[in-house]
Amino acid sequence: MDAKKHGLAAGDAGRPDNADWTIPQGWEHYTPQDHATWKTLFERQSRLLPGRACDEFVQGMRDLPIGADAIPEFDRLNEVLMRRTGWQIVAVPGLVPDEVFFEHLANRRFPSGNFIRGPHELDYLEEPDVFHDVFGHVPMLMNPAIADFIQAYGQGGLRAQQLGNLTQLARVYWYTIEFGLLQQGDGLRLYGAGIASSYTESQFCLDSPCPNRIRFNLERVMRTHYRIDDFQESYFVIRDLDELLEFTRIDFAPLYQRTQAAPALQPGDVLPQDQVFTRGDGRYHAARRKGH
């Protein structure tokens, strides 16, 4: 992104001067092209999500001042979000260090990239941009269970970092908040922001015969590596969003001990004790490994 354009007090490599890494959204600096990119992404994704995104996502989207025509103003989103769940969005220049990220979440502030991807890289993201963060995450932050769960993740993250358990905890976030599926009356739906904001993966995660869809189990997930460079090989399915609240009430210390001692699992592994919704055929990732 262009640091100057977005009003960054640019030190080295776009790092803002203040310790919490926040910057102004700089809404007035978005170009017509930026808004056009948002519109393309928004319309494309809005067509896909009915029947795929969970009811809570659709409801959250409906209740927010968010639409196709322009990149939303964080201040306007915050008025609604703050009233609903006490969360607010703060602008950051991209990925921030783990402890900065956790500190924000623990205080119900969601860091959102202020920049938007270029028109020639609609499906390519090196760092979370405003479409991923606002379209993907903010509708779910309107839900009280998600609101409490992400705050608890921030608090747990600060502790886990000191204890050296961050790897295990980050897998929970990954397989829920970013790539989670849930059960709904008529079948599986997505609620993870990484898939809700992805044109290709929102289809792959639910429609493709390739990946595994496995009942979520906390310790199992804490042992499971994830892919950051491609579609997931396995998606984990929660019963409903309230299941996440149960995880905010338990002591993770014994879980860290057991899951660090147990053998790590590969992303595509399926265990005899797994409750499997769909056993994937693995063809997509097998072809990728062969270099097709």
Interaction site with Fe ion (CB under 5 A): 193
Report the half-sphere exposure of 154 (CA within 13 A, side-chain side). 18
Please say whether the beta carbons of 191 and 252 come within 8 A.
no
- For 268, residues 6+ apart whose C-beta sits below 8 A from its C-beta are 212, 233, 234, 280, 282, 285
Nearest to 48 by CA among 100, 120, 123, 106: 123
Question: Which of 96, 106, 150, 181 is in the footprint of ligand HBI by CB under 6 A?
Answer: 96
By beta carbon distance, the residue nearest ligand HBI is 101
Question: Which of 66, 81, 92, 222 is in the footprint of ligand HBI by CB under 6 A?
Answer: 92
Residues in contact with ligand HBI, counted by CB under 6 A, come to a total of 9
CB of 170 to ligand HBI, least distance (A): 4
Q: Interacting stretch for ligand HBI, rule CB under 6 A, among 48-56, 90-98, 144-152, 209-217?
A: 90-98
Q: Interacting stretch for ligand HBI, rule CB under 6 A, among 82-90, 96-104, 139-147, 254-262?
A: 96-104
Question: Which of 170, 188, 264, 270 is in the footprint of ligand HBI by CB under 6 A?
Answer: 170
Tokens of 226: 């994830």
- Cβ proximity to ligand HBI, 216 vs 284, nearer residue: 216
Please say whether the beta carbons of 134 and 66 come within 8 A.
yes
- Cβ proximity to Fe ion, 58 vs 125, nearer residue: 125
The 10 Å CB-count burial string (b at 16+, else e) for 157-191 is: bbbbeeeebbebbbbbbbbbbbbbbbbeeeebbbb
Task: Please report the beta strands in 77-166, taking only residues with DSSP state E, as ranges in sequence order.
Answer: 88-92, 109-113
Q: Which H or E run includes 236?
A: strand 234-238
- Binding of ligand HBI by 135 (CB under 6 A): no
CB of 101 to ligand HBI, least distance (A): 4
Give which of Fe ion, ligand HBI, none residue 92 binds (C-beta under 5 to 8 Å, depending on kind). Answer: ligand HBI
Question: Which of 98, 148, 240, 274 is in the footprint of ligand HBI by CB under 6 A?
Answer: 98
- Binding of ligand HBI by 128 (CB under 6 A): yes
Type of residue found at 137: H
- Cβ proximity to ligand HBI, 131 vs 284, nearer residue: 131
- Binding of ligand HBI by 173 (CB under 6 A): yes
Nearest to 192 by CA among 207, 182, 200, 184: 182
Give which of Fe ion, ligand HBI, none residue 188 binds (C-beta under 5 to 8 Å, depending on kind). Answer: none
Residues near ligand HBI (CB under 6 A): 92, 95-96, 98, 101, 111, 128, 170, 173
